[in-house]
Chains A and B, each alone.
Chain A
């Protein structure tokens, strides 16, 4: 174990030394990887912000239950009880028909019309705030509540939610697609860089074999080289996204203010940042592994 640690430490130092030994090449490679990763990372950042904006600026989706006009106090108590115990209901509120009538009368244009009616035309109603705000879940809850006795109609105010969900889905798919494509690109970049590294260090590889080095020993520094390159590229990507966030924050806040929205662009979340670095390092390692299995096989 301690031998493995020593050898890994040595390999890591060697890999770092090789990276530093050709600074221009390293810088260009890291920039290429960084720019490639910055696109999906930036996409993720924008997506997270769009989601945030959507949550903050639209009212929470709710289900309106309109009762039958002949629903009595007992029926209302009955529904009240069911809503109280339903796990899918986060909050609910009764709107008595008298209140609705009063509110409608307060509306100048409608007051005369309502006065002319022989009796209160409005039903009692409940507004229900679902616990789960995914469109499918809300729809299911609305359908279920619509079947309660004395409920005439359950209306789901979900059009906006569906549209938003569809938009976010496109955004997510786009980011994923971009990440996949550029991930493959990153593997290809590392593959080629490691091929060049193997060629450059051919003499050393050959000598190490003659001195009794195992395949694992020979591969290790190249593998770490790929991982370090990927990691450095990830850091560059993170800095590009952070820079873009900082740069865009002013103009976007201005725009938000014009729409009377309280919004300011947030940088990449911690989890996303860690994921970015981990994926970058892993892709670098995969590219290196593939390249090594091809270029170190038989010498």
Chain B
């Protein structure tokens, strides 16, 4: 599913965010990437989501080299990818339903079918009763669950999450972690960057320190 082959990322003027990283993730696996903040976890996820290009080595997803993709090919690739962003990136001028609808609108889903899928995704994260709520009216945990619903609504086979349990109280964090485990159980490959990998006891653990795999 994912193959990272001697990948590195250097930001000008000479800061190495990642150095010579190699690992593979098989389909259906649950993998956590641990490490302190600044260790390169977010950069690694950005390389996999083609938000950044590696400055050395290669990152392959579904056998495609993310570093050498044409700009016009990236949108179609991202549609098969569910991403939960560290800062969630919810749109505060749209309600919960519309936020989750956005990926389906982008990929051009027929509206009736899209509506069913949005409701299924909201149901999955326990927000079906709050479709009309604006994000500002949701608690931190609910906002995070909304972000997850948006990431999974197009039923990707790869789910990336960047610190999905940060800033949540332990109970809510466990709740959110459980949702990821449920997706893994139905065959979705899940890669989670987290400083607290104790929430995912079954996961294969990768640990980054100063841009290198431990």
Contact = CB atoms under 8 A, between A and B. Distances in A.
Interface of A: 2-4, 6-7, 10, 21, 203-204, 206-214, 217
Nearest to A209: B75
B75 A204 contact: no
Interface in B99-140: 102-103, 105-108, 110-111
B89 A212 contact: no
Contact of B91 (A2, A203, A209): A203
A207 B76 contact: no
Interface stretch (B15-23, B77-85, B171-179, B189-197): B77-85
B91 A210 contact: no
B151 to A, nearest CB: 9
Given A203-B89, A203-B91, A204-B91, A211 B110 contact: no
A214 B75 contact: yes
Given A203-B89, A207-B89, A212 B49 contact: no
28 contacts: A2-B110, A3-B108, A3-B110, A7-B105, A7-B108, A206-B89, A207-B91, A208-B102, A208-B106, A209-B75, A210-B49, A210-B51, A210-B85, A211-B78, A211-B83, A211-B102, A211-B106, A211-B150, A212-B74, A212-B76, A212-B77, A212-B78, A212-B79, A212-B106, A212-B107, A213-B75, A214-B72, A217-B106
A28 B110 CA distance: 37
Nearest to A214: B75
Interface of B: 49, 51, 72, 74-79, 81, 83, 85, 89, 91, 93, 102-103, 105-108, 110-111, 150
Nearest to B111: A6
Contacts of A7: 105, 108
Contacts of B49: 210
A208 to B, nearest CB: 6
B97 to A, nearest CB: 14
Contacts of B76: 212
Contacts of A213: 75, 106
B24 to A, nearest CB: 24
B102 A207 contact: yes
B102 A6 contact: no
Nearest to A17: B93
Contacts of B83: 210-211
Nearest to A217: B106
Contacts of A217: 106
A42 to B, nearest CB: 39
A41 to B, nearest CB: 36
The 10 closest A-B pairs by CB, nearest first: A212-B78, A212-B79, A3-B108, A213-B106, A212-B75, A211-B103, A214-B75, A207-B89, A211-B106, A212-B106
Contacts of B85: 210
Given A7-B105, A206-B89, 7 more contacts: A21-B93, A203-B89, A209-B75, A210-B49, A210-B51, A212-B74, A212-B76
A208 B78 CA distance: 10
